[in-house]
Amino acid sequence: MNDNPQAEPVPGAAPDKMLSPAARRALAEAEERRAAQVAAPRPKEINGREGPEPVRYGDWENKGIASDF
């Protein structure tokens, strides 16, 4: 981990390069898609387990029954 809050420059990147209008539009569209994906509601799981996600939290046991995906 790095204590420096500034990001290190990427080798081979050109920080002063001007982007074309098409590239700017593509970056804006990609940012909109990412924002829409984060904001999209997730469907409710049918007959799924209650509580925290077991894959994320490593809780493979529920009421004494272990489950393995």
Q: Where are the alpha helices (DSSP H) in 1-69?
A: 21-39, 54-57
Residue 37: band (very low, low, confident or very high) from pLDDT cuts 50, 70, 90:
confident
pTM of the model: 0.39
What pLDDT, on a 0 to 100 scale, did the predictor assign at position 31?
93
Mean pLDDT of 42-48: 76
What pLDDT, on a 0 to 100 scale, did the predictor assign at position 28?
93
Cα-only R_g, the chain? 21
